[in-house]
Every structure is written in structure tokens, then in C-alpha cells.
Amino acid sequence: MLKRSRSGIFSSRDKKRIGILTAGGDCPGLNAAIRAVAKTALLNHGMEVIGIKDGYEGLVENKVVSLSYKDVSGILTQGGTFLGASNKADPFRYVTANGKRKDLSDVALKNVKMMGLDALVCIGGDGSLIVAYKLYKKGLNIVAIPKTIDNDLAATDATIGFDSAVITATEAIDKLHTTAQSHHRVMVIELMGRYAGWLALYAGVAGGGDIIIIPEIPYDIKKVCSQVLERNKRGKRFSIVVVAEGARPKGGKMVINKIIKSSPEPVRLGGIGNKIAGDIEKNTGLETRVTNLGHLQRGGTPSPFDRMLATRLGTFACDLAAKGDFGKMAALKGTNIAAVSLKDAVKSTRRVSPNHSIIKSAKAVGTSFAA
């Protein structure tokens, strides 16, 4: 069953069986994607649907559940993933009971065969889909769906969860404006995004941030401070500084919060907001406060856009699996959904160009990037 036929079509068993897993960090819209894949499989292709619990951990530990139409009804608006997820379970570097890493990818493939899966739909971000691509190369029939609040996956214009996170971050910036203005403070808000600045850029522009600091444009703390002081002189006695967690000063390094050795992505960024706030207060004498939204950005109800995107990507991915078009990722291209190579999707991180049109528009209305 793991062996792909020359035609790329499923095995000859009468009732086809498809598996679904959500890997990596959670985000709004995952349940909507699960729903889309499962309902399309059940209603349009007569397939059986199997849910893999807790991402790749379920693939290795053989934790599965059969999904009916009823099981995936009423979950469109729910955040998170009812199947569970794990951002530590890499089958190729699996942490065993004794704490040592071991390649258990063959165990995962054996379990897939035992489950009787003809295809597996993996919903994940860059790290998760790198694993999916490696499993595909070992013979597993894989179709992928992109999700991450970081919006940093190559080969797609948007990922599930990003829009919802932008809304959460923008609403937080909106609320910070009133307290910053009341107390004449500088407010620094640190957002997620890892090594890409999409979330900070979108939320910063939408929320009217005065200074936006992203990884792609190393900042000059002198320019940050001069911008804040200049606003103060003009009677603007408060400033909003939006900072991506992966930002770094010119000639400096990113701030690392901690290292999690058991994780496939051991580096945990965090703390750049506190560093910048301390530097501002020290150099300007202005009272400065920090807000770190943290995992609030991952939670809550998915936005209408994410529900739509998850539905479109999920139905398309299921159709790809049904016709045996494996090793592909469903992607948003402009306003259309298209199949792209999974290899191309994970070969690089999608980052913000310093010449991006949004940056140009932000600069036109007076936003500083402190470069």
C-alpha cells in the first residue's frame, strides 16, 4: 500500500482510506481544514477517514480515531485542533522513553500500512512539512496543507492561521494605544513570527504602529530613540513600537529565550521586546512598557478568511489525494488554489522583502523601520 503505482492511483481496495494529521504548533483554522478534508473524502470520494492524534506522535505511537461525518460537523468555527498536535515529535529524530533520539520513520510507515491508509494529508508549517517531504521520499503517499501564523512557507501566498493571528495582534495594538496615550508612555509589543516579519508587519501597519521592527530589516536603536523623541517634541507624547520576536540590531544577534533540546526546532526566541524597551528608557528617559502576546496569537476563533482558506485548501488537497497526485501541497496563488511541489514548498523560508509594497506604503505615511 505504501508503494505508489505507476499511474499514481490508489491501491485496488474497494473502499479507499485517507488519514489526516495536524503537526507542529496549533493555530486557528486547523479544525476547518480537517473538516474540509474529511467531508470531501466522505461525500465526494466515498473514502473512510482516519484521524491521527497528536501529529507525528500519533503516527509513531499508532494513536488513531475513525472520523465520521458527525465527528467533523460543527467544528468550522473552533480554534485549535481536536486531533491534537505536537511540535516535538519528528519520526526521524524521535525522543524515546529513555530520552534518546532514534529514527523511527520506518515504524511510522509500518503503522500507516497497518492502518490501511492509501494517503495521508499533513497539515503543518515548514518544520512539519519538511518531515512530510522526507516521509514522501520514503514511499508514503503524502499531500500537504500549509498552516502557520508566521506565514513563512514558500510556494503559497498565505497560510492557515496567519490572518487570525494578525487580527488578534492588531486588536492588542488598538488597546495599547489608549493606555499609551493616557499615560504618555512608549509601548513595545512583541509578536511571534520566528525568522520572518510578516505578522509584525501586517499587524503593525493595520494597528498604526509608529515603529515596526522586523528580522529582515536590522534596527538601529539610535534611530528608534530619535523617532520616539521626535514624536514627543511634536506633541505626540506616546509611541507604539511593534517588534517581531526574530528582530535583531544591526551587527547584533537575535534574542533567544531558551533552548529545548528535545524539540526538532530547539531555539525558542523571545525577549527582544524587553531589550528594546530597556534601551529606549535608558536613552530617552521616557517611561516604557512591554507587552508580549505570546500564545494568545495562536488561540481563538479562526477569522472568516482563515475558515474560507482552510476550506478551499482542504477540499483541494483531498481531491489531489483521491487522484493520486502525491508529493504536492495545496497552495494559495493569487486568488486561486493550485498544487505545488512539496519539495519547492519547504526548500526555503518565505521572508519579507525590504522593498515590499506594504513597507513602502507604511513609510509613505510616516511609519519608521528604524534602519
Q: How many CB atoms lie within 10 A of CB 93?
A: 16
Task: List Cβ neighbours of 356 (8 Å cut-off, separation of 6 or more).
Answer: 201
**pLDDT > 80? residue 4:** no
Q: Which of 126, 150, 163, 210 is catalytic?
A: 150
Q: Which three cell numbers stand for residue 83?
A: 486531533
| 306: annotated active-site residue | no
What total of structural domains would you count in the chain?
2
pLDDT at residue number 345: 95
Rg (CA), the chain: 22
Q: Which of 258, 274, 298 is the last residue of a domain?
A: 298
Q: Which three cell numbers stand for residue 154?
A: 514558500
Identify whether residues 324 and 290 lie together within a single domain: no
- CA separation, residue 184 to residues 212, 226, 227 (Å): 19, 16, 15
Residue 176 lies in a domain: yes
Identify whether residues 179 and 50 lie together within a single domain: no
pLDDT digits (tens, 9 = 90+) for 249-273: 999 998 888 877 766 677 788 899 9
pLDDT digits (tens, 9 = 90+) for 180-210: 999 999 999 999 999 999 999 999 999 999 9
Residue 232: which domain range? Answer: 165-298
Identify whether residues 217 and 276 lie together within a single domain: yes
What confidence tier does 142 reach under pLDDT thresholds 50, 70, 90? very high
Mean pLDDT of 331-343: 97
Domain holding 327: CATH number?
A: 3.40.50.450
**pLDDT > 60? residue 44:** yes
Identify whether residues 189 and 241 lie together within a single domain: yes
pLDDT at residue number 10: 45
* 280 close to 188: Cβ distance less than 8 angstroms: yes
Residue 198 CA, distance from chain mean position:
11
Domain holding 251: CATH number?
A: 3.40.50.460
Residue 281 lies in a domain: yes
pLDDT at residue number 254: 86
pLDDT at residue number 247: 96
Q: How many CB atoms lie within 10 A of CB 294?
A: 13
pLDDT at residue number 241: 98
pLDDT at residue number 263: 66
What confidence tier does 282 reach under pLDDT thresholds 50, 70, 90? very high
Task: List Cβ neighbours of 248 (8 Å cut-off, separation of 6 or more).
Answer: 215, 218, 219, 254, 255, 272
